[in-house]
Structures are given as structure tokens and as C-alpha cells.
Copies of this chain bind each other. A is one copy, B any other.
Amino acid sequence: MMKLPEPVQKVADELAELPSIGPRQAVRLAFYLVGRDKGELRDLAAAIDALRGIKICARCYFIHQNDGALCDVCANPARTQRIIMVVEKETDYLSLENTKKFTGCYFITGPVPKTGFLEAWQKARIASFKKYIAEELGGAADEIILGFNPTTLGDFQAGLILKELAPLAKKISRLGRGLPTGGEIEFADDETLGSALERRS
């Protein structure tokens, strides 16, 4: 390979570390950035640097900037701490939170590997979650909702997490399946239609 100027190569290498960005796309992005004006580059660099000040909630692992250890939801006394939505990632948390329909709290597992083997940091998260349930909720939550995708992978992930968390709640549930609002029966797949029939209301 022709050698790129060192700062460009470094940015390309750093970007290639990000999930869903391949090495070629990383090089293209680095070139794109070189073409931006100096003010924009300074802004982007400063914004990334400022992420160092963001904290992770000690209980659910969502991000926050509060003085204490807990995020806005976990620190809010109006939220039901005994109903916990377990999600894979922060963006799922955001989507659910945006419905304004859920008044419980969350726990973020981080991406559950397809291999079926949890990462070390993930096991640590789950261990701290178990400790929280034992110490603060008397050993069992009222309900744990497994907020995983209604896909084959999501089912697999939910099964894996269920094994860990089953003893920690009086009730375990998953998000309801059926026709998505705005969807058309004609184009729904068999699984979805089957679920819609079973769970008709």
C-alpha cells in the first residue's frame, strides 16, 4: 500500500475500529475529513474529547451527566424500580423511552454475541445486576421484560439472558408480537400473522 500521511492513516485506523465501519470506508471517511474546513475538524475533535466527561449509570448502564451514579431514569423516584426492561443496546432503550408508555427502569446488556458466550464485561454487568436485585429488591423484581428483537437472533439472545435472569423476577415477559401499526396483512409474513391471530384482542 502507498503510505498515507501519518495523521490520515491514524484517523483511518481509529475509524476502522468502530462497529459497522470497514477499513475501506474508514479510509474514505478520513479523506472526507481532510477536505472539511479547519473549524469543523476542531469542533468534531472537541466533541469527541468531551465524551470523556460522560458517565455510565451504575445500575442500568445508560449514559448520563448527573452528579450521582445513576441516570435520569434510575434516579427518578416516579419510575417503578420493580419492573425492569432488559435491552441489548442504548438505542433500543431510547426507542422504548420515546413511547412514553413505560414507567419502569432498564438494564442494558450490551450486544449479546452470536457465539452464545458472554463477554467478560457483560458477565460483570449481569453480576452487578444480580447484586442489585438481591440487595435492593429483596431477591426478585416484580417483572423482567426481555426487550430483544423479534428475530431469530433476538430469540437466541433472549434465551441466553433468560438463563441468567430467570431466578430474579416473579414474572418474565417479552415484548408483544403482532401486526405492526401501519402494516398490511397482505405483506405480513406467516410468523407475524400467526402471532397476530394467537394474540388477538
Residue ranges of A at the interface with B (Cβ–Cβ < 8 Å): 1-2, 4-8, 10-11, 14, 18-21, 24-25, 27-36, 38, 41-54, 56, 63-65, 89-91, 94, 97-98
Contacts and interface: CB of A to CB of B under 8 A. Distances in A.
A94 to B, nearest CB: 6
B91 A28 contact: yes
Chain A interface SS verdict (over half): helix
Nearest to A90: B31
A19 to B, nearest CB: 6
B10 A47 contact: yes
Contact of A48 (B27, B28, B44): B44
Contact of A51 (B1, B34, B97): B34
A14 to B, nearest CB: 5
A197 to B, nearest CB: 32
A43 B50 CA distance: 12
A51 B32 contact: no
B43 A5 contact: no
A117 to B, nearest CB: 19
B25 A20 contact: yes
A48 B64 contact: no
Contacts of A1: 94, 98
Query: Which of A8, A41, A52 has most B Cβ within 10 Å?
Result: A52
A5 B54 contact: yes
Contact of A7 (B2, B20, B24, B47): B47
Nearest to A46: B45
Given A41-B49, A49-B41, A34 B8 contact: no
